[in-house]
Chain A
Amino acid sequence: MSKKKKITTSTGVEVRHKPLGLRIWNNRGYYVMFLPVFIFILIMYYWPMLGIRYAFYDYKPVGAPTFVGLKHFYSMFKTDAFWSAFRNTLELSIMKLLITTFTAVIVSIFLNEMGNLFAKKTLQTIIYLPHFMSWAVVASIFSLFLSPSSTGLVNGMLRDWGILAPDAKGIYFLASTAWWRPIFYIINIWKETGWGTIIFLATLAGINPELYEAADIDGATRMQKMRFVTLPALSNTIITVLILNLAKVMNMFESVFVLYNNAVYSVSDVISTYIYRQTFAIALPNYGYSTAVGLFKSLVGCVLVLICNWASKKTRGRGIV
């Protein structure tokens, strides 16, 4: 990795390397400093990896684990709920990624056109705001707004506008299989679009102004400049953002976890929420089975990271990890 340094003693004699023991001794302070990090990593990350063996065991809260081989994997691949969760994970996170990236690109291109610096800064401050709200808070706010009760904002407005009859029952958006996904995407757009613009705005700030002058000379309109100068300049960043986030596709958890409920499992259940329910929400959990599902998730995630790392090296010359 790092170039081998030539070490010169005070008398001018060049030595290739000090003896290893001496180098370790000279760096002793750094080893001591790394020790707490090392211990934490070992306990928090590597110790759980040993627990992966339970994927091949029957392990219930009571009684000792017994080895069962690949039984959990057979039953997992035969379970419809598992496949539905797997499909939902991919669909929800890829759709969410594409939609929020698209809105962030659009917003940053138009924000970049804003001449007034104060207005631009103020808007940036405002649209970054929702990113700092937790998923629990966002879910709480939207579930109150979308509630079918008399205080639900959206149903109330639908009645005012005559879309719903005044005495009709409100639409229970979050418990409807037709509405859950659109609502989920809208909430994601609301929460993450603004934050997503940061990276695009940083790229746009780096565009050479001569490009715009040249376009002016060629008589390009504002729209043409946005289409033929601004957007191409963003293409690399867009690809980077997509690659970085594609690696995290399997990690989707909290955003779904706070918003879903048992009426909409078919469209909302993702792998992580499935693991959670199989372990903590049933009377007699088998840790072996949920570990097996978790192992499947980790392996797919690992493959995705490696693919994205490879793609990232190809497109921009450096990896993501």
Chain B
Amino acid sequence: MAKTAYRKPKKKVHVFDIVNYIVFILIGLLVLVPIWKVVVDSFNAVGVYQFRLWPEDFTLDGYKTIIHTQRLYRPFINSVITTVLGTFLGLLLSTLGGYVLIQFDMPGRNFFAYFLLFTMIFSGGMIPEYLVMKQLHLVNSMWILVVKHGMNVYNLVLMRNFFEGIPASLFEAAEIDGCSPMGIFFKIVLPLSKAALASIGLMFAVTVWNDYSTVKIYITNPDQVNFQYQLRNMIMDGDTPTTQYSVSQNTLFYAAIVCAILPFMALYPFLQKYFVKGVNIGAVKE
């Protein structure tokens, strides 16, 4: 009797584990197969509906077309420019704001906090925003992407939460040594926040790069659109630019999709921990 007090149920573990692995291999394939089909078909000169492991008729025409067609490479360049500048502006504003919000001695600090928080509860809405941007001459200009995403209250609060974790004694020591607020910010706060800067910077970059609806709402000039807009317009609204290349429509479409996802897919395996960290700074704070 006493022998049965503790034993591991060994046999069941094996069956369960095998089933579990099979299920997860299937889940992994469900995610990867669509992406792999996109990549393969972007190199395939003939459009087929079947899933192929390798292109049947290898070609680079899809990519060549994108590189040589102004209506396609111009939006790509716009995307790169707006993403870089938007990320920079976003990091600048959210670190400055987050840093000021942890100055509990500062008169007006609570007012600033509520001033920011109110924008998370209530907003003017799409049309009043549009009318303001029109007055600022940002309609039909790709700078709208930089300005609109550069200020993100949620990311600012994430930054603030991170700064709060820096020991106050470091600030006090620097202050005693005669360091100015700006000096503390650049010499102590920012160097200690590299991980947070990486995660939140990536969040900004992904947001700006992936934005479609802002462009759709604000921009009609084809020189100013970003790549996501051009991509969806081409594939779903039949707005394919004319090119001198005789490339199959399918190949071009899939090549364009690869270009749209390439930057982050290439970075992602190396920066995964920063991508994931952003979620955890915000959500799991028990």
Please tell me which one of the listed residues A1, A37, A110 contacts residue B93 in the complex, with CB atoms under 8 A apart: A37
CA distance A48 to B151 in the complex (A): 15
Identify which of B128, B206, B265 contacts A52 (C-beta below 8 A): B128
B31 within 8 A of A: yes
Q: Write the A228-254 contact mask toward B (1 if CB under 8 angstroms, else 0).
A: 000000000000100010000000011
SS class, residues of chain A in contact with chain B: helix
Q: B264 on the interface (CB 8 Å rule)?
A: yes
Known contacts A51-B128, A111-B24, A321-B120: A150-B103 contact under CB 8 Å: no
A139 touches B236 (CB 8 A): yes
Contact B231 A137 (CB under 8 A): yes
- Which residues of B lie under 8 Å from residue A199 when comparing CB positions? 279-280, 283-284
Q: For the complex formed, measure the closest distance between the CB of A254 and the CB atoms of chain B, giving whole angstroms.
A: 5
Among residues of A, the one whose C-beta sits closest to the C-beta of B253 is A144
Distance of A43 Cα from B96 Cα, bound (Å): 17
In contact, B93 and A253 (Cβ under 8 angstroms): no
Q: Contact check: which of A33, A133, A302 meets B121 at CB < 8 Å?
A: A302
Instruction: Kindly state the separation between the CA atoms of A5 and B210 in the bound complex, as whole angstroms.
Output: 46
Cβ of A315 < 8 Å from any Cβ of B? no
B229 partner, pick from A114, A136, A155, A321, beta carbons under 8 A: A136
List residues 134-158 of chain A with CB under 8 A from any CB of chain B.
Answer: 134-137, 139-141, 143-145, 150-153, 155-157
Chain B binder among A78-86, A161-169, A214-222: A214-222
* Contact, CB under 8 Å: A132 / B213: no
Given A34-B100, A156-B49, A143 and B31 contact (CB-CB distance below 8 Å): no
Chain B residues 235 to 256 lying within 8 A of chain A, measured CB to CB, are: 235-236, 250, 253-254
Task: Say yes or no: A48-B128 contact (C-beta < 8 A), given A128-B276, A137-B260.
Answer: yes
* B110 x A1 contact (CB < 8 A): yes
Main secondary structure of the interface of B (DSSP, over half): helix
Q: A37-B96, A41-B151, A202-B280 are in contact. Are A123 and B127 (CB under 8 A)?
A: no
For A276, give its contact among B108, B126, B211 (CB under 8 Å): B126
- Given A134-B228, A152-B49, does the pair A291, B127 have CB atoms closer than 8 Å? yes
B169 at the interface (CB under 8 A from A): no
Q: Which of B9, B24, B253, B261 is A114 in contact with, Cβ under 8 Å?
A: B24
- Number of A interface residues at 8 Å Cβ cutoff, please give it: 98
Number of A-B contacts (CB under 8 A): 274
- Asked whether, in the complex, the Cβ of B210 is within 8 Å of the Cβ of A134, the reply is yes
Of B17, B180, B235, which contacts A29 at CB under 8 A?
Answer: B180
| A 280-321 contacts with B by CB, 8 A | 280, 287, 290-291, 294-295, 297-298, 301-302, 305-306, 321
The answer to whether B170 has its CB under 8 Å from any CB of chain A is no
Residues of A at the B interface (CB closer than 8 Å) are 1-2, 5, 20, 23-24, 27, 29-31, 33-34, 36-38, 40-41, 43-52, 54, 107, 110-111, 113-115, 119, 122-123, 125-130, 132-137, 139-141, 143-145, 150-153, 155-157, 190, 194-195, 198-199, 202-203, 216-217, 219, 221-223, 240, 244, 253-254, 257-258, 272, 275-276, 279-280, 287, 290-291, 294-295, 297-298, 301-302, 305-306, 321
Kindly list the 9 A-B residue pairs having the minimum CB-CB distance in the complex, ordered from nearest: A51-B128, A48-B124, A294-B125, A156-B49, A134-B210, A29-B181, A136-B212, A37-B97, A48-B128
Could you list which residues of chain B lie within 8 angstroms of chain A, going by C-beta atoms? 5-6, 8-9, 12-13, 16-17, 20-21, 23-24, 27-28, 30-32, 34-35, 37-38, 47-51, 92-93, 96-97, 99-100, 103-108, 110, 112, 115-117, 119-132, 136, 147-148, 150-151, 153, 156, 180-182, 185, 206, 209-213, 216-217, 228-229, 231-232, 235-236, 250, 253-254, 257, 260-261, 264-265, 268-269, 272, 275-276, 279-280, 283-284
17 CB < 8 A contacts A-B? A29-B180, A29-B181, A33-B96, A38-B112, A41-B116, A44-B129, A54-B131, A127-B31, A128-B272, A144-B253, A150-B49, A198-B279, A199-B279, A202-B283, A203-B284, A219-B9, A305-B120
